[in-house]
Amino acid sequence: MNSFGMRVLVLLVMSLHWKPAGSSRIDDMSFQPPFKNVDYYGDREINDTWHFGGSCTVKKNFVRLNSALSTQRGWIWSEKKVGRNTISMVATIRLSGHGDGKENEGIAFWFSDKDGNKYSYLRNYGFAEEYKGFGVIIRQPKESSLGDPKDISIQYNDGTGKVHDFHAQSVNGCNAPVWYDEKSADFKPAFSQTRLKIQIDGPHVSVQIDANIQSQWKPCQEFTLPFESDWLASSTFSITSSQGPSNYNSDIISVHSFTDFNDDGIRIIDTQAVVQGMSKTYDGWLNSPSCGVDCTIAVLRKSVMNLHVNVEHRLMDLKESTTHMVDKLRQQEMNNEFKVSNLERELHSLINTKLEKSHGDIKSDITARINEEWKKNSALGDHGWKGAFFITVVGIVAFAFLLFQKYRALMKSHLM
């Protein structure tokens, strides 16, 4: 195998088998696919140190904070405190969909003093308003609460601020193409991803972005928090999302946390990112004479892994869209049943009113005629054959009245 094939093979093997080792990686604050843990009910979990809630669901190859087609809020939270004053974290995410964002919609990464609150029910991008710490917020496209906001912004709080106070902060953030259009032919779930790097050393914070997982980090914002130097040790890390009726998916692929500000482990996962980007053209390598048996096997394995990612994402979207459509049809059916029920009630009420009016008119007419005949017979004083005839007429009229009552009851029962 020549040098090209050897380089390809080394990179592929590294990407397939490498796991950050040694004391530099903080395992309790890290996770990556595949997610194989399941709970008592058969639902997937992240691992033993990460909790999730709200609309968050765990799939084999990613964690979905919220899905398109509905109003949702989801969160994941590392129950372990940072326990140190320095940390570096790299998160790989996939933000995709189409539409316009609204106020306080997006995904946010928080280092704060909050311990596992029900973030998903709160309005600050699914997070609390009162906290001590900071968050890196990735807003949905065209989210207009600040007029012309940055794609990525920074929010911090000393424990006393409110949402309206955050808008006046001087820490702005940066712009980056982090959202992908799922309707585009270029969208591929295995490659349409973004990486976010957050480095903290006491009150000093650095945020960088790798928009196309090409290991090309671009500075986003550096700032110094107005906190004491040991504030981070008692903090926890969490990710939250908040979405209204817009069509965006927020997926977390992996989170890697390290003990040092410029940790060697970051260079390893940078290599993984390069390999992932290179795998777009793996099919062409199979026909290269430089790619031997080992190279071919590694290429095929990586291609299968990418295929699984793409298929799982598409199936998830298909399932959610089908469920959404069924829910809409079910709601429409309920609305139609309600309308039909109202029409039936109105019809029954109208029929009853008509029947009651007819009944009253007939009763009044019969009573008037009986009284009239009675008066005539009383005035004549003739109680012979006319009296018998009168009684017969009264009986016929009474029978007719009873027959009408029976007909009325029958009509009502059939209309019911």
Both 302 and 241 in one domain: the answer is: no
Inside any domain, residue 363 = yes
Domain count, the chain: 2
Domain boundary among the residues 251, 277, 303 is at: 277
Residue 26: how many CB atoms within 10 A of its CB? Answer: 25
309 occurs within a structural domain: yes
**Which residue segment(s) compose the domain that 360 sits in?**
281-377
CATH code where residue 173 lies: 2.60.120.200
Residue 44 lies in a domain: yes
Per-residue pLDDT of the chain (416 residues; tens, 9 = 90+): 444 444 555 555 555 455 544 448 899 999 999 999 888 888 899 998 998 988 888 999 999 988 766 667 888 999 889 999 999 999 999 988 765 555 557 899 999 988 765 554 567 888 888 889 999 999 876 654 545 578 898 998 888 877 666 655 656 789 888 888 878 888 888 888 899 999 999 999 999 999 888 778 999 999 999 999 999 999 999 999 887 666 678 899 999 999 988 888 888 888 878 777 777 776 666 677 777 777 777 777 877 787 888 788 777 777 766 766 676 677 777 777 777 777 777 777 777 777 676 666 676 766 776 677 667 666 555 555 566 666 676 667 666 766 777 666 666 665 55
Contact 231, 203 (CB under 8 A): yes
| Contact call for residues 179 and 106 (beta carbons, < 8 A) | no
Flag whether 11 is in a domain.
Answer: no
Q: Are residues 257 and 363 in the same domain?
A: no
List all residues 6 or more positions away from 346 whose beta carbon is below 8 Å from its beta carbon.
none
Q: Where are the alpha helices (DSSP H) in 288-384?
A: 293-380
Asked if residue 401 belongs to a domain, the reply is no
- Are 58 and 148 contained in the same domain? yes
Cβ atoms < 10 Å from Cβ of 69: 20
> Both 297 and 218 in a single domain?
no
**Are 237 and 345 in the same domain?**
no
**Final residue of a structural domain among 242, 277, 312:** 277
With CA atoms as reference, report the closest residue to 68 among 340, 337, 250.
Answer: 250
Are 44 and 95 members of one domain? yes
In a domain, 394, yes or no: no
In a domain, residue 232? The reply is yes
Q: In the beta sheet, which residues pair with residue 44?
A: 38
**Are residues 327 and 180 part of one domain?**
no
Only one residue has tokens 């799982």, namely 312
Residues 197 and 87 in one domain: yes
Clarify whether residues 333 and 214 are in a common domain: no
Q: Which of 277, 297, 328 finishes a domain?
A: 277
Task: Quickly tell me which residue has 């928080």 as its tokens.
Answer: 110
pTM over 0.75: no
260 and 286 in one domain?
no
Residues 229 and 325 in one domain: no
Is the same domain home to 122 and 259? Answer: yes
Q: Say if residue 219 is preceded by a cis peptide, omega within 30 of 0.
A: no
Q: Is residue 409 part of a domain?
A: no
